[in-house]
Amino acid sequence: MPSFLATAHSYQPGATGLPARCFTSPEMFDQELERLFCEHWVCLGHVAALSAPGDFLTTAWGSESVLVLRDHDGALRAFHNVCRHRGARLCVAESGRLGPTIQCLYHAWTYGLDGALLGAPHMDEVTGFARADYPLHQVALEHCDGLLFINLAAEPPPLAESLAPLPGKFARWNLPLLRRARRLEYTVAANWKLLFENFNECYHCPLVHPGLAKLTPFDSSENDLAEGPILGGFMALAPGRSSLTHSGNRCGALARDLPADDQRRVYFYSIFPNLLLSLHPDYVLLHTVWPQATNRTLVRCDWLFHPDSFEASDFNPDEAVAFWDEVNRQDWRVCELSQLGISSRAYRPGPYSPRESLTAAWDRQYLRAMGE
């Protein structure tokens, strides 16, 4: 994927890649799930997935599963997807729409969409049992500029504190108003960190992405965030091109509040630990990244457009979907090749070039978060 030319203050000579154990060790992988995906804010995707009362989605990593829903009063809520009786998983579907209650498939314990236990067959025969003592376990949930985040920590810091300067940074794309046109899922035979390292540099773009290189020159970029949990900046569109699609033309309505300069740019940001965000003049692409094993990663990709796009007779989101599906598959292939090579006893981390400054910055953020 594309990213950005190094700036003088961001490149640190002597930086090298992470050691092999970061990509191959089951012990490191388990630590990442606990320290990064259970103690940091992770992105579930866009709020459009929960547009109506009763809408729900689930997501799982490691041994954890979280249920997020919109209750019948319109409030967004998140719970551990675990029945309070014998621990059965409550919702097994990835998404859908609930009725007035959530019922466990094992012993029919039944919960309201606010998490309260409403019914527990035969438990009134148990001395001292009170339904009020067994609500679903809540999970911290915040939404920011249309993006949903959860945190499994007992007392997580505010999202705005953890992911500054996220709030308001992308306001000119009107993210809360966007609607999803497509979703694709990929299973990549590579460690999840390789996807982030790849996203944060365009050193590979001329060779790996010839179609992309025609639309946005790999050296036409500028970073505005070069250290910390959010990294990225923009790349300029080539003359005569107006978006990243197979034709190079826009396929959706232009974002309403987008300044003239931004109509000639595409912005790319990695948001630690699991979101890749690409903002085009006419659509926004989200990649949420979910580690499955040391050498396997699930990626969910959502293409989001302004509501005006869906009313246009010439709206063709497949122009963007097909373009990025091609680019994604090119990226996944080289990430998988990297995973194979890193697994060799011959592997030693090589030096980063100045065009990989954001990749080195992402590695530093990872090491800080892991306490190393």
In sequence order, what are the residues at sequence separation of 6 or more whose Cβ sits closer than 8 angstroms to the Cβ of residue 304?
46, 48, 175, 178, 179, 180, 181, 283, 284, 285, 286
pLDDT in tens, 153-206: 999 999 999 999 999 999 999 999 999 999 999 999 999 999 999 999 999 999
For the domain spanning 1-37+171-372, the CATH number is 3.90.380.10
For the domain spanning 42-162, the CATH number is 2.102.10.10
Q: Using the 8-state DSSP alphabet, how is residue 219 labeled?
A: T
CA 172 to centroid of chain Cα atoms: 20
Note the helical H segments in 200-256: 205-208, 210-215
What is the rounded CA–CA span in Å between residue 286 and residue 259? 22
Domain chopping of the chain, boundaries: 1-37+171-372, 42-162
What is the rounded CA–CA span in Å between residue 188 and residue 292? 10
Name the residue with tokens 């970073």. Answer: 223
What is the rounded CA–CA span in Å between residue 192 and residue 52? 32
What ranges make up the beta strands (E) of 26-128?
42-46, 55-61, 64-70, 76-80, 95-97, 101-103, 110-112, 117-119
Average pLDDT score over the chain: 95
Query: Could you list the mean pLDDT of each consecutive 10-residue stretch along the chain, which spans 372 residues?
Result: 41 88 98 97 96 96 96 97 98 96 98 98 96 98 97 97 95 96 98 98 95 92 94 97 97 93 97 98 98 98 97 95 98 98 98 95 98 90
pLDDT in tens, 133-143: 999 999 999 99
